[in-house]
A and B are shown apart, each in its own frame.
Chain A
Amino acid sequence: MTALLEVQGLKTCFKVEGGEFTAVDGVSFSVQAGRTLGIVGESGCGKSVTSLSIMGLLPKGQGRLAAGSIRFDGVDLATLSAPEMRALRGNRLAMIFQEPMTSLNPAFTIGNQLIEGIRCHRDLSYTQAREHAIEMLRRVRIPSPERRIDEYPHKLSGGMRQRVMIAMALSCEPSLLIADEPTTALDVTIQAQVLDLMRTLRAETGTAIILITHDLGVIAELADDVVVMYAGRIVERASVARLFAQPQHPYTIGLLGSIPKLHLEQHRLAAIEGQVPTPMSQVPGCRFAPRCPFADARCRTSEPTLTDLGDGHEAACWQAPLNPLTEPLT
């Protein structure tokens, strides 16, 4: 089965004063039609830059694709011209951003913004497009959409705006939806509504989703497969059940230990000491080694690559698989 999206060796660089830094360094993954891939990591790990690279939305003159290929339905997106890319974006390839407050234009009604996108990609009259827009608002459960469509974004709450964003992204039935921290700015009861909506719409439309988030709870709820990123690289990849039950990379293990569990009693959190290296700093060997309690001399000198541990579970760690129950840790 060929994948809907196939990212190979993606490397994205940004210009800074006195040089360039690599935000994403050799990232490869694929998304099958109808599946949801979660990308998890902390700020600066490159998860958002990965999505902007796929969408062709890197800031002009600052960011560039330095290497790798992004094949969407067999076409390498990096080779497309700007108009070709524009025809794809918002049509078969759509994105939801984190900030529902800033990603809508405050000077236009939400109807205007929805209809503009629909008419860009579909040969519909204004009236037909407006009807389609109302239908989309209804599908994302916005009450009285006939009235709401003529309102300006400031009249809507954060949860409502995020629903409008989702309606906009789904209005042309994309085959791939990239959701970058779609619920991070929302309150928890509103987050539950939006996650529920995304789950329902996914079942109805069969859209493949790339879900980017720092929240392991959201990943557990929505994703089928997970990629964990650290300092611009993928450190672990597995199915969601496997990742949470049998994490192999020490970063994933530490990350899971860092979140307080609502359903367990813990005395102390297993915090990862130290901090993420800045993109400018050169860490020899494994980038996580300075913070890793399992690191040895080899980890500090040579960099591990993603290695298959069976059943599609991969980890970039010299120590993997870690088995403290059979062999005691030193």
Chain B
Amino acid sequence: MNTSVAAPLLRVENLVKHFSIQKSFFQRDTAVVHAVDGLDFELAAGQTMALVGESGCGKSTVGRLVLRLLEATSGKVWFDGEDLMSLGSKQMRARRRELQMIFQDPYSSLNPRMTVEQTLTEPLALHGLARGRHRERAAELLDLVGLARQYLQRYPHEFSGGQRQRIGIARALAVEPRLIVCDEPVSALDVSIQAQVVNLLQDLQRQLGLSYIFIAHDLAVVKHISSHVAVMYLGQMVEYADKQSLFAQPRHPYTQALLSAIPLPEPGLQRKRILLQGDVPNPINPPSGCRFRTRCPYARERCAQEVPTLTGADGHRVACHFWQEIAVPAASLPAANLLPPNLRLQKLQAAFAPAGAAVVP
């Protein structure tokens, strides 16, 4: 790693993406979807930043903008001290060796006409890597993601969803990237398979020193895998913090509602729930001022007039005019000490963890 501790691997500045959906006779935009509206964040090497929010909040668009799979309307993306937005398409393609992506749908993100070996060696050929030992490298990649080497000659339809997701991960790893954008990598998978893939992503990060941008709507998975969390609502970041402080002390009313809305696998647990009214507004015509105000239980006049900016200390930033007045809800998440640990269950579950893996005592 040639990055120093001080300089972040990735820095995103005032990223904006508007999708034009209607043009006038003179080709001027008459209606745009405000998919991403002024986003800033940083990601250090070896860390995982999660982008969370509900459908339509712009989290997937951010992932695509960072890799320039979509061109941003404005803003800058600095990767390892270089502005990706200023690169030509040829330079950008070369740069993508270090920036890869894992997609949500393991069924549509693999070419059905290519064998696993072809899928894994194509990026090697494109970037001129592992010359003369493609097959060997492809086999190594399968080892890395926990698939048997004899699968090299098989086609995607012969695999289950979880196995396909492993192939997608192997393909992203083929070029030895430093940053991987994971766009909902486990949400299409069954619960038991989801846990396998989450464990795999964590192992690979430790082994290879990868950085992840982890895009997800499942906050429990996010809490498990990420180091920092950015909560998005209608194209804007409403709260940003390291994992511990975000989950222990959610300050934005939207984050609080989001956390309290998640059904917990603890029957009989009494907790206070913040029920939001209504639906997410239309991103073509977002509300004035604070975009969350139409559903916010604390909204006042000022919220309709002024756009709140991200403020706060110690790296915990909140975009709300009144966050200092809003109490942290005590019961949105039960403290771990309220629930006695189930020793029997822990011991039994430890038997499932593969040998050599770190297990909670």
Q: Are B352 and A254 in contact (CB under 8 A)?
A: yes
Residue B32 at the A interface, CB < 8 A?
no
> Which residues of chain B come closer than 8 Å to A164, judged between CB atoms?
none
Binary contact track B184-225/A, C-beta < 8 Å → 1, others 0: 000000111111101100100000000000000101110110
* Cα A323 to Cα B359 with chains together (Å): 19
Distance between Cα atoms of A139 and B242 in the complex (Å): 42
- The answer to whether B351 and A294 have CB atoms under 8 Å apart is yes
A203 at interface (Cβ–Cβ under 8 A)? no
A275 to B55 Cα, complex, angstroms: 29
Contact assessment for B344 and A272 in the assembled complex, using a CB-CB cutoff below 8 Å: no
In-complex Cβ contact of A325 among B192, B264, B344 (8 A): B344
Say if the beta carbon of A157 comes within 8 Å of chain B: yes
The CA-CA distance from A260 to B276 in the complex, in Å, is 24
The answer, yes or no, to whether A263 is at the interface (CB within 8 Å) is yes
The CA of A261 and the CA of B333, in the complex, are separated in Å by: 11
Binds A, one of B41-49, B63-71, B128-136, B265-273: B265-273
Q: B258, A189: Cβ atoms under 8 Å?
A: yes
Q: Which residues of A contact B193 (CB under 8 A)?
A: 42, 275
Interface status of B343 (Cβ within 8 A of chain A): yes
What's the interface size class on B, roughly? Answer: 35 or more
* B313 close to A (CB within 8 Å): no
Q: Type the 1/0 row for A140-152, where 1 means its CB is closer than 8 Å to any CB of B.
A: 0000000000000
A260 and B349 within 8 A (CB): no
Least CB distance from B143 to A in Å reads: 16
Contact A244 B258 (CB under 8 A): no
The smallest beta-carbon distance between A220 and chain B, in angstroms, is 4
For A264, what are the chain B residues with a Cβ–Cβ distance below 8 Å? 336
With A and B bound together, what is the CA distance between A260 and B260 in angstroms?
16
The yes or no answer to B357 lying at the interface (CB within 8 A) is: yes
Could you give, for residues 258-282 of chain A, a 1 whenever the CB lies within 8 Å of some chain B CB and a 0 otherwise? 1111111111111111011000000
Question: Given A43-B190, A187-B217, A240-B267, A293 and B351 touching (CB < 8 A)?
Answer: yes
Contact status B191-A214, CB under 8 Å: yes
Closest to A159 in B: B279
* B160 interface residue per 8 A CB criterion: yes
Is A271 a contact partner of B261 (Cβ separation < 8 A)? no
B199 with A188: CB separation less than 8 A: no
Say whether A111 faces chain B, with CB atoms less than 8 Å apart. Answer: no
User: Would you list which residues of chain A between 158 and 201 have a CB under 8 Å from chain B?
Assistant: 159-160, 187-193, 195-196
How many of chain A's residues touch chain B, expressed as a range?
35 or more
Partner of B351, one of A223, A241, A329: A329
- In the assembled complex, the Cα of A240 lies from the Cα of B335 at a distance in Å of 21
Q: Are B358 and A267 in contact (CB under 8 A)?
A: yes
What's the Cα separation between A189 and B358 when bound, in Å?
Answer: 34
B114 at the interface (CB under 8 A from A): no
A228-261 interface with B by 8 A CB criterion: 240-241, 244-247, 250, 253-261
Contact A188 B265 (CB under 8 A): no
B310 contacts A by Cβ under 8 Å: no
A192 B261 Cβ-Cβ under 8 A: yes
Whether the Cβ atoms of B349 and A270 lie closer than 8 Å is: yes
Interface residues of B in 253-302 (CB under 8 A from A): 257-269, 273, 275-276, 279-280
- Contacts A193-B275, A325-B347 given; indicate if A271 touches B263 (C-beta within 8 A): no
- CB B224 to nearest CB in A, in angstroms, measures 4
Q: Is the CB of A244 within 8 A of B192?
A: no
Partner of B352, one of A223, A273, A276: A273
Q: Is B235 an interface residue (CB 8 A)?
A: no
Q: Decide yes or no whether A59 CB sits under 8 A from chain B.
A: no
Complex Cα–Cα for A193 and B339 (A): 26
Q: CB within 8 A of B261: which of A191, A220, A260?
A: A191
Q: A220-B263, A268-B357 are in contact. List 20 more A-B contacts (CB 8 A).
A: A187-B54, A195-B263, A219-B265, A220-B265, A223-B267, A254-B352, A260-B221, A262-B247, A262-B259, A263-B336, A265-B336, A266-B360, A268-B199, A268-B353, A268-B360, A269-B195, A270-B353, A322-B344, A324-B347, A329-B347
Chain A residues engaging chain B, CB cutoff 8 angstroms: 42-43, 157, 159-160, 187-193, 195-196, 214-221, 223, 240-241, 244-247, 250, 253-273, 275-276, 293-294, 322-325, 329
What are 6 residue pairs bridging A and B, where the CB atoms are less than 8 Å apart in the complex? Answer: A188-B217, A188-B258, A259-B220, A268-B360, A271-B196, A324-B347
